[in-house]
């Protein structure tokens, strides 16, 4: 029987060794470490690499996960790390053309520019060496966390956001495989890229990570009365036709306390919709998904002090069909 990846995603500053024991007791086997995204994604990634990962608490947490048999993965929006914006002065043609016909270094790149894609590959290779994944060989270096920020140059304007995203992920995979020949990499189906790509095909080793961030968490994904969830779920079949089900993973928000409070501290108590999660998991499994993870950001030690231990064991039981 192939391994099922069942996990959580946490902010790096919220890690401590207690998470390893809690996750192992809950039947979970992967931890995703996620510096916050948004427009500060590059700065947050640099802070994680240069500061947080050097702390004793972080290093002891990683050791605890390893001892508990929990694989460590890194998941982050990393475009401006892999293709630094400073390259704009020398290579404006590497960057996206906006709706006004101007090259703009704010987000993503021009996926029709071969030199830009080569630089992206090099950045992905370097990042994979900084953040290896020796246990699972799965990598999650996502493109920018924005909507409607794709290239509109003459060559790109007829490509959908999903097609442009897939070009970038194909090249990220190539770069990562120079550092780890066994690597696989995700295609993050999220925001503009949640629709199935049409004109571009995934290279071997690219797997689907389905992340319906625009869903309504109070209703099940297959609840026909919820228009948001109907729209988000409507893309699943097309995505699975492109990427297949064997390696496809759901990235959900069932435990994402930061999202429930609009990513603004202080966070309150987690509104955990247990019955909704059970229905969601049944629905996803009916589609062919076997790998599951959820953001669990905003559930660090300060959360436990105010509200008690978060419902990780219940989450694990549901994923394991108990």
Is residue 2 scored above 80 in pLDDT?
Answer: no
Is residue 197 scored above 60 in pLDDT?
Answer: yes
Q: What is the bridge-based pairing of β-strands 96-97 and 103-104?
A: antiparallel
Exposed, middle or buried by CB within 10 Å (0-12, 13-18, 19+), for 210? Answer: buried
Q: What is the dihedral of CA 321, 214, 98, 77, to 10 degrees?
A: -40
Domains of the chain: 6-319 (3.20.20.80)
pLDDT in tens, 35-53: 988 778 889 999 999 999 9
Mean pLDDT of 284-312: 96
Query: Given this model, what pLDDT does residue 221 score?
Result: 98
Question: Do residues 292 and 319 touch, judged by C-beta distance below 8 A?
Answer: yes
Q: Which of 271, 315, 269, 287 is nearest to 221 (CA)?
A: 287
Q: Which of 44, 116, 34 is nearest to 75 (CA)?
A: 34
Is residue 1 scored above 60 in pLDDT?
Answer: no
Is residue 297 scored above 60 in pLDDT?
Answer: yes
Mean pLDDT of 182-189: 98
Mean pLDDT of 9-33: 97
Model confidence, pTM: 0.97
Mapped onto helix, strand or coil, the DSSP state of residue 319 is helix
Is residue 267 scored above 90 in pLDDT?
Answer: yes
DSSP letters along 248-284, please?
-EEEE-TT-HHHHTTT-SSP------HHHHHHHHHHH
pLDDT in tens, 76-93: 999 999 999 999 999 999
Strand ranges inside 143-195, DSSP E: 184-189
């Amino acid at each position: 029987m192939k391994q099922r990846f069942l996990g959580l995603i946490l902010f790096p500053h919220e890690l401590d060794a207690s998470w390893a024991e809690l996750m192992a007791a809950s039947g979970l086997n992967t931890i995703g470490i996620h510096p916050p995204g948004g427009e500060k994604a590059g700065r947050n990634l640099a802070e994680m690499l240069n500061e947080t990962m050097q702390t004793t608490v972080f290093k002891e947490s990683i050791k605890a996960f390893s001892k508990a048999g929990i694989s460590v993965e890194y998941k982050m929006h990393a475009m401006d790390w892999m293709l630094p914006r400073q390259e704009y002065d020398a290579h404006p043609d590497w960057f996206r053309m906006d709706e006004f016909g101007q090259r703009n270094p704010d987000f993503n790149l021009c996926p029709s520019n071969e030199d830009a894609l080569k630089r992206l590959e090099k950045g992905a290779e370097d990042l994979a060496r900084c953040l290896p994944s020796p246990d699972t060989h799965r990598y999650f270096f996502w493109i920018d966390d924005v909507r409607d920020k794709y290239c509109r140059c003459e060559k790109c304007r007829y490509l959908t956001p999903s097609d442009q995203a897939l070009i970038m992920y194909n090249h990220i995979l190539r770069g990562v495989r120079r550092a780890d020949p066994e690597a696989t990499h995700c295609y993050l189906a999220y925001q503009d890229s949640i629709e199935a790509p049409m004109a571009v095909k995934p290279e071997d080793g690219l797997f689907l990570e389905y992340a319906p961030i625009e869903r309504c968490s109070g209703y099940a994904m297959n609840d026909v009365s919820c228009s948001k969830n109907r729209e988000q779920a409507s893309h699943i079949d097309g995505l699975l036709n492109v990427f297949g089900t064997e390696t496809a993973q759901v990235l959900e928000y069932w435990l994402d306390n930061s999202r429930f409070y609009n990513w603004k501290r202080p966070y309150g108590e987690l509104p955990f919709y247990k019955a909704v999660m059970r229905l969601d998991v049944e629905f996803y499994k009916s589609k062919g998904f076997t790998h599951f993870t959820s953001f669990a950001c905003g559930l660090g030690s300060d959360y436990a002090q105010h509200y008690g231990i978060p419902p990780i064991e219940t989450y694990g039981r549901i994923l394991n069909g108990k």
